[in-house]
Amino acid sequence: MLPIIVIIASFFINIPTTVATPPGIYAPNGTYLGDPSANKLAPNSTNNPMGLYGSPLAPNGINNPMSIYGSPLSPLSPNNPYTPEAPMLPGPPSLPGPPGLGN
């Protein structure tokens, strides 16, 4: 009986505490451009007008029309509808399929 109690107690004691964070936006060269969060108070949010990544004056910000990542004429900007290489969110990690299916 005692080992079962120890196992159950250790399960509740070792619960990992993680906070879900939005994925970051990355330029094709790997430059971090902020988090696509709707929270205007989050420090890394692209919607925080006073933040490092959401300010319209941020040198690498996607909200700065004069930056390489915010200009509607830049090939690296999500604001250019014709860009071939806009910044993107990283995709979900690849998970192996069930064994025996050629994965």
**pLDDT, tens digit, for every residue of 17-76?**
555 555 788 888 888 999 988 899 999 999 999 999 999 999 999 999 999 999 999 999
Give the model's pLDDT for residue 89. Answer: 74
pLDDT band at residue 88 using 50, 70 and 90 as cut-offs: confident
**Residues 11, 12, 17, 20: is their CA dihedral positive or negative?**
positive
C-alpha distances in angstroms, 94 versus 24, 72, 90, 97? 18, 33, 11, 9
Give domain status of residue 8, yes or no.
no
Structure tokens at 72: 């509607």
Number of domains in the chain: 1
Give domain status of residue 32, yes or no.
yes
C-alpha distances in angstroms, 101 versus 34, 85, 95, 97? 38, 34, 13, 7
Give domain status of residue 50, yes or no.
yes
| Residue 43 domain boundaries | 21-81
Give domain status of residue 62, yes or no.
yes
Give domain status of residue 68, yes or no.
yes
Give domain status of residue 95, yes or no.
no
Give the model's pLDDT for residue 44. Answer: 92
The better pLDDT of the pair 95, 44 is held by: 44
